Amino acid sequence: MSRSITSNCGQAWDLRGGCDNGRVLFLIGVLVVVVGVALSIALHEIGHLVPAKKFGVKVTQYMVGFGPTIWSRRRGETEYGIKAIPLGGYVRMVGMLPPRPGDVEGQLRTVSTGRFSQMVDQARADSMEEVRPEDADRVFYKLSPGRKVVVMLGGPLMNLLIGFVLITGVITLYGLPQVVPKVGLISECVPTATPTVADPHPACAPGDPAAPAKLGGLRENDRIVAINGAPVSTWTAVAAAIRDSGGSPMTFVVQRGGEEVTLTVTPARLERATLDEQGAPVTQDGKLVLKSVGFMGITPGQELVTTPLLEAPRFVWDRVVDTASVIWRIPEKMVGVAEAAFGSGERDPNGPISVVGVGRIGGEVAALDIPADEGGNWLKIAQLVLLIASLNLALFVFNLIPLLPLDGGHVAGAMWEAVKRGWAKLRNRPDPGYVDVAKGLPIAYGMSLVLITMSVLLIYADIVKPISIFG
């Protein structure tokens, strides 16, 4: 936005203090995120529940949350309920694990020796205990591979649908802030200090001259339509013209209050750091690489710009790709999280966060003091909706990881079963039977331990050193 946005208390939000109004809005934002997370989980599980019932699988439980049950009701053969900890959910389908090859259907051989074998056999026995004689043909493992994939992908695809609907609604009906050729903030002065590696972007100091934009009469929210007689339609064109001006006078035509105003502004000529494609200062032999540029003392303004409906799928797909790239790098980023949580390092603002961190960001968004002419409460609502949408995209991508106990692990097992059966049929061999996903349970136990450890670490980091939208 064109002006600095702070909390309703006039400063960056702090959980230890702040005005009453800011506290209330902060709590409302947290509540919105909690409800959004709970609904996302509930719909994810519905994505499993509906196809499972459609294909005849017996579903005994549909639960949102973990831990003690705080409410439940039985409808038909399924118990629907809510548990105390809203950090997940599950649908219990009978017969998730097939019997071992050679076992009589409905019976199990005595347990094997070896710790992992005993764990697998115990899980298999627990799975078979739920299967009554009349349910013999209603077990999950007897579904065709294609139907197994549909059931297990139903949850992640529901999250993708939620994210798509929420993002599409915001970008097509409300819009997103985008940089436009418009004056945002205007500097008070020209920072004349020479940039260094330690301070590549020096600030103004006492005695520095006034900024050219201020002396030339530019104002906040002026829309720049032409420079030196050439029309401009992007901020990139404005920045390039100023940078390459060489300190020569420039003629600006701006729209101000429905009128066009012509101004002559002479940029300052400064030595500034050269930046790479990522915006980082370029160094050589331990020193900054400097270049002479024009300086006006203005930042770009932003406006809400809607996206055409037909472009929404590409926009959402780009967000999915961005999310996947972040999740792919979670293992290496967790090192930084640990260093920040237990040391003096700073959190990566683009790194992973827990539900606690998402809730805090939701609270900070709700507590922002955004002027009505810059979006006001509608902008805050849009940001909260996008926050929940981003969480759903993360759930979609994360659950596709082909490892148990994630949905992607069951999908991988079903696809391997399809490959084995197809290959056997092609070679006129006997049906190889069901893929024994129970053999992957040691991996599932290991993954569960890793996920629990990561969750605890992220929650701790989000409490002691949280990521804040205020930086």
Q: What is the pLDDT of residues 112-170, one digit of tens each?
A: 444 545 555 566 666 666 777 787 888 888 899 999 999 999 999 999 999 999 999 99
Query: Is 129 noted as a catalytic residue in this protein?
Result: no
**Per the residue annotation, which of 45, 220, 271, 346 is the catalytic one?**
45
Q: What does DSSP say about strands 287-288 and 59-75: parallel, antiparallel, or unpaired?
A: unpaired
Helix segments in 343-440, DSSP class H: 355-367, 376-399, 407-426
How distant, in Å, are the alpha carbons of 205, 425, 434 from that of 198? 17, 68, 62
Q: What is the pLDDT of residues 47-61, one digit of tens each?
A: 999 999 999 999 998
Rounded Cα gap, residues 461 and 471, in angstroms: 15
pTM of the full predicted structure?
Answer: 0.78
Low-confidence ranges of the chain (pLDDT < 70): 1-20, 100-129, 278-279, 373-374, 469-471
Helices and strands, number each (H, E), in the chain: 11, 14
Q: What is the pLDDT of residues 238-289, one digit of tens each?
A: 999 998 887 889 999 999 988 999 999 999 888 877 777 766 777 877 777 7
Rounded Cα gap, residues 390 and 392, in angstroms: 5
pLDDT at 203: 81
DSSP 330-341: HHHHHHHHHHHH
Look-up of token digits 């683009």:
350
Q: What is the token pair recorded at 417?
A: 């079963």
Rounded Cα gap, residues 63 and 245, in angstroms: 64
CA nearest neighbour of 466 among 336, 366, 357: 357
CB 120 within 8 A of CB 128: no
Rounded Cα gap, residues 79 and 135, in angstroms: 17
pLDDT at 111: 45
CB 261 within 8 A of CB 254: yes
Q: What is the pLDDT of residues 82-91, one digit of tens each?
A: 998 877 888 9
Q: Strand, helix or coil at 420?
A: helix
Q: What is the token pair recorded at 132?
A: 């009554």
Maximum CA pair distance of the chain?
Answer: 91
How distant, in Å, are the alpha carbons of 39, 182, 212, 217 from that of 383? 18, 22, 35, 34
Rounded Cα gap, residues 447 and 440, in angstroms: 11
Peptide bond before 349: cis, by omega within 30 degrees of 0?
no
Rounded Cα gap, residues 457 and 463, in angstroms: 10
**What's the mean pLDDT when you consider all of the chain?**
83
pLDDT at 395: 92
CA nearest neighbour of 134 among 104, 94, 101: 94
Domains of the chain: 178-305 (2.30.42.10)
CB 354 within 8 A of CB 394: no
| E strands, 174-267, in order | 176-186, 223-227, 230-231, 250-256, 259-265
Give the other-Cβ count within 10 Å of 346's Cβ.
12
Rounded Cα gap, residues 78 and 424, in angstroms: 37
pLDDT at 1: 38
> What percent of the chain clears pLDDT 70, i.e. is strictly above it?
88
